[in-house]
Amino acid sequence: MIDKALIQRMHDRGYIDKAYAIWWQLGFEGRHIFTEEEFNKRITAVKFKDVFDETGNYVGIDNPDDEGDPFPVERESKLWTGNDVPILLKDIEIGSENIPCFISVKPLSHEHMSLKDLENSNHDSIHILHQPHIRGTVIEKTERHLFWYPLKFGVEPARYQSIGRYFEKYKMWCIINPILPRIFYSNIIKNGWSVGRRPQKKPECMECGNLGYKIVPYFEFDPKEKHITIYPAKLVEGELDFPVVFKGVPEGNHGDILGIGYFFEERSYYSVPGEAHYWKLNDAKRNMAREYIGKQLNIELK
The answer, yes or no, to whether residue 297 has pLDDT greater than 70, is: yes
More confident residue, 157 or 46: 46
The answer, yes or no, to whether residue 135 has pLDDT greater than 50, is: yes
Q: What CA–CA distance (Å, rounded) separates 52 from 162?
A: 15
More confident residue, 29 or 144: 144
200: Cα within 13 Å, side-chain hemisphere: 12
Instruction: With cut-offs at 50, 70 and 90, classify the pLDDT of residue 53.
Output: low
Instruction: With cut-offs at 50, 70 and 90, classify the pLDDT of residue 239.
Output: confident
Q: Is residue 302 domain-resident? A: no
Mean pLDDT across 226-247 = 93
The answer, yes or no, to whether residue 79 has pLDDT greater than 80, is: yes
The 3-state secondary structure of 72-97 reads EEEEEEEEECCCCCEEEEEEEEECCE
- The one-letter amino acid at 149: Y
> Do 211 and 117 fall into the same domain?
no
Q: What CA–CA distance (Å, rounded) separates 217 from 213?
A: 13
> Do 23 and 170 fall into the same domain?
yes
> Do 8 and 144 fall into the same domain?
yes
Domain limits for position 8: 4-175
Q: What is the pLDDT of residues 141-183, one digit of tens each?
A: 999 999 999 998 877 766 656 677 888 898 888 988 888 888 8
Mean pLDDT across 75-100 = 87
Instruction: With cut-offs at 50, 70 and 90, classify the pLDDT of residue 74.
Output: low
Mean pLDDT across 193-216 = 79
List all residues 6 or more positions away from 240 whose beta carbon is below 8 Å from its beta carbon.
25, 28, 188, 192
The count of other CB atoms within 10 Å of the CB of residue 197 is 16
Q: What CA–CA distance (Å, rounded) separates 233 from 243?
A: 7
Q: Is residue 231 domain-resident? A: yes
- The one-letter amino acid at 78: K
pLDDT, averaged across the chain: 82
> Do 91 and 190 fall into the same domain?
no
- The one-letter amino acid at 218: Y
Chain centre to alpha carbon of residue 24: 7
Looking at 146, 175, 204, the residue that finishes a domain is 175
- The one-letter amino acid at 34: F
Q: Whats the size of the chain, residue-wise?
A: 302
Q: Is residue 49 domain-resident? A: yes
Identify whether the C-beta of residue 110 lies closer than 8 Å to the C-beta of residue 84.
no
Mean pLDDT across 184-205 = 76
Q: What is the pLDDT of residues 242-278, one digit of tens each?
A: 999 999 999 888 899 999 999 987 665 444 568 899 9
Domain count across the chain: 2
Q: What CA–CA distance (Å, rounded) separates 155 from 104?
A: 21
Instruction: With cut-offs at 50, 70 and 90, classify the pLDDT of residue 64.
Output: very low
Give strand pairing partners of 50: 61, 73
- Residue 263's nearest CA partner among 293, 291, 231 is 231
The answer, yes or no, to whether residue 212 has pLDDT greater than 60, is: yes
The answer, yes or no, to whether residue 103 has pLDDT greater than 90, is: yes
Mean pLDDT across 201-205 = 85
> Do 158 and 10 fall into the same domain?
yes
List all residues 6 or more positions away from 200 whose beta carbon is below 8 Å from its beta carbon.
279, 280
Q: Which range has the top average pLDDT, 81-85, 92-96, 112-116?
A: 92-96
Identify whether the C-beta of residue 182 lies closer than 8 Å to the C-beta of residue 265.
yes
The answer, yes or no, to whether residue 63 has pLDDT greater than 50, is: no
CA triple 33-39-43, angle to 5 deg:
135
Instruction: With cut-offs at 50, 70 and 90, classify the pLDDT of residue 102.
Output: very high
Question: What is the Rg, in whole angstroms, of the alpha carbon atoms belonging to the chain?
Answer: 21
Residue 205: predicted pLDDT: 92
Give φ, ψ of 220 to 5 degrees: -110, 0
Strand residue runs (E) in the chain: 22-25, 32-34, 43-52, 58-61, 72-80, 86-94, 97-104, 133-141, 145-149, 164-167, 172-175, 204-207, 214-215, 227-233, 242-249, 254-264, 275-279
> Do 16 and 161 fall into the same domain?
yes
> Do 116 and 167 fall into the same domain?
yes
pTM value?
0.83
Residue 162: predicted pLDDT: 65
- Coil, helix or strand for 189? helix
> Do 187 and 162 fall into the same domain?
no
The answer, yes or no, to whether residue 290 has pLDDT greater than 90, is: yes
Q: How far is CA 239 from CA 16, 28, 209, 259, 302, in A?
A: 29, 9, 33, 17, 24
